[in-house]
Amino acid sequence: MILKESMNPLGLVPERFTVAVSPAGNLLGFGQLEKKDSYIELRSMIVDPSARGQGVGKALLKELLSKAGRSDVLITTIGNRMPFYQSEGFQRLGLKEVPRSLLFEVMAGTVVARIAAGDELVVMKRTI
């Protein structure tokens, strides 16, 4: 799933995964949270294309957000995924609002997003 989505596999830590599986035991999607100094980063959330539009992503995101507690949650994603996250209460951040700890990833990811996905990189935030 990761390679099909042109995602960066760095930073994947299976012990942090929250997974969604079908009744037959097939992997439908996963995501992970990473605690940072002043926020929690939602990382690597992927839903299998065959399961999209069926509520799997919303259910997975809801579970991940419940694990985040009362912390701010940030995600770095590509522009075409913004409507999904906006529908769940995330707002786009301007570059000046991005935490310093994410700036290098954002700068490098901006180039990669254009090449790999033909899209812009965006940082979004949800305050729980």
pLDDT per position as a tens digit, 2-26:
444 445 555 666 677 899 999 999 9
| Domain, as residue range, for 51 | 14-127
**Coil, helix or strand at residue 14:** helix
Least confident of 11-20, 38-47, 61-70, 78-87: 11-20
Percent of the chain topping pLDDT 90: 56
Q: How many residues appear in the chain?
A: 128
- Of 91, 105, 34, residue with least CA distance to 64: 34
Residue 55, domain member (yes or no): yes
Residue 6, domain member (yes or no): no
Residue 3, domain member (yes or no): no
Residue 35, domain member (yes or no): yes
Q: Which H/E stretch holds residue 43?
A: strand 40-47
The domain spanning residue 39 has which CATH number?
Answer: 3.40.630.30
Q: Which residues, 6 or more positions from 6, have their beta carbon under 8 angstroms from its beta carbon? A: 116, 117
Residue 103, domain member (yes or no): yes
Residue 8, domain member (yes or no): no
**Coil, helix or strand at residue 50:** helix
How high is the pLDDT of residue 113?
80
Query: How many structural domains compose the chain?
Result: 1
Mean pLDDT of all residues belonging to the chain? 86
Residue 50, domain member (yes or no): yes
Q: Is the dihedral of CA 81, 109, 91, 13 positive or negative?
A: positive
